[in-house]
Structure 1
Amino acid sequence: MAYTTAQALLEEFWDCRLPVDPAYFAERLGLTVKYSYDLGLKSGYLDVETKEICVNATECQERQRFTIAHELGHYCLGHGSSFRDTSNPQWVQQYDPQKEMFADQFAADLLMPALAMKAVIDIRGIKDPVQLRKMFRVSPAAMYVRLKRLGYAHG
């Protein structure tokens, strides 16, 4: 089965517990997540041939989780390998902002499922962004963007 949306992955594999574990979904799709101290300023990349997602081990856990989910997005959306190196002029020429946007959206949808966000905010009454980001284990920026996209934040 092809999973072209985070929602499809969630429906197939998610146990409804928070926080969502993106590495679990990668594993379910036959991908291996590896952590490297040799990535410099790069957050990570997807290698389709080896079926590996490589993540920068020096970054905070929230960033690592988002990177795994982002690379999983590239994989599910059929974007191919995604070694992103903004310091390399050749890569900058191949950069596709639309693919990056789609992968970011996939990551947000996976890590902060709309149904879970709405349940936590509307039913449990937890509206504090700091509490929410800790519950979903995402960065402040990721939570703000998600809250805005779901209509809970303005500006």
Structure 2
Amino acid sequence: MRTTTPSFNRRALATQAMQAAAATRAKAKLDQVGPICIYGLCETLGVAVRFNNINMEGMYQRGIPPRIHLSARRPLPRRAYNCAHELGHHVFGHGSSIDELREDAKAQPWEDPKEFLADTFAGFVLMPIIGLRRAFSVRGWTPETVTPAQMFTIACEFGVGYATLLTHLSAGVNMLSRGRAAALHRVTPKSLRMHILGALTPEPLIVTDRHRAAPTLDAEVKTLLLLPRGTEVAGDGGLAFERDLEGGRLFRAVKPGIFQAAAGDWAVFVRIAPIQKNEPYGYIGLAQYRHLEEDPDE
């Protein structure tokens, strides 16, 4: 297969994207370490985000106000990454754009410098290098030696996909060798869930532990959540206890809303979005209303 050499300086654009990501976090009064809610960041910056039943990754619509449209058909972590990518178009003053479906965020090198810039911005705004270093060190792990399940836990902390984290660690921040990244890439989401849960399941899984720094965790109905041992849930039945496992306590998200889960001095607010009945996709509507039973925008 013939490859083409890009006509732009990737290293210079990557540096520009990293600096813009740090400046964007600072503008929204967010630190440069912890995981963020990308939808909350967009709201702070005055960018409206809407989930739609569309067969694409997402779209940036320049205007007053600027809007980001995301596909509700994509997995939850992918939606967050796509939102960060579209926000990159906004931050860099790009015109309206449509991003077609692709297999993996950053898996194929961009030949368009604007797309490369937006993609690299997404990686840095969601996964700043200081935050990644903290996430590994606080657990006593290193990127080169972690197991796939441990790497998946880090991905869940930053709200991104397993493969997206691997690509960013190896190609974005040089914390993971290409060889080790390739080996970890061979582990499929299906086999990861099988290893962690001890059983085959089609439902998406989120894993968190007591080292998770973010005060909130986004999920949607039917998502499985493996939370720390001894976790108890407050609220009106949003999370249903499934069973205790060696790695923690397994719950299933069954009802939209915001519910607190706590284990000793550790706690997190789980924000659950609805999914479409009898359809293979999630919440449709404005991102700011995604945890409500009904979207006021409808």
Superposed pair shares fold, TM > 0.5 = yes
Higher alpha-carbon Rg: 2
Q: Residues 31-50 of structure 1: matches in 2 within 5 Å?
A: 31-37=47-53, 39-40=54-55, 42-49=56-63, 50=65
1:154 aligns with 2:177: yes
Query: More strand by proportion, 1 or 2?
Result: 2
Matches of 1:15 and 1:65, distance apart in 2: 19
4+ residue runs over 4 A deviation:
15-18
The equivalent of 1:89 in structure 2 is none
Q: Which is further off, 64-73 or 125-134? A: 125-134
Secondary structure of 1:151's aligned partner: coil
Higher relative contact order at CA 8 Å, sep ≥6: structure 1 or structure 2?
A: 1
Aligned pairs for 1:39-118 (under 5 A) are 39-40=54-55, 42-49=56-63, 50-85=65-100, 97-118=112-133
- In the TM superposition, residue 66 of structure 1 has moved relative to its aligned partner by 0.5
Q: TM-score of the superposition, structure 2-length normalised?
A: 0.44
CA distance in 1, matches of 2:46, 2:111: 26
TM-score (norm 1): 0.82
Aligned partner letter, 1:121:
F
- Is 1:9 the equivalent of 2:24? yes
Distance 1:17 1:115, change over 3 A: closer
Equivalent position amino acid for 2:169 in 1: L
In the TM superposition, 1:13-24 aligns within 5 A as 13=28, 14=30, 18-24=34-40
Q: How many residues align?
A: 143
Higher helix share: 1
Task: Provide the alpha-carbon RMSD of the alignment.
Answer: 2.3
Gaps of 5+ in 1: 87-94
- Listed as ranges, the matches of 1:121-132 within 5 Å are 121-127=136-142, 128-132=150-154
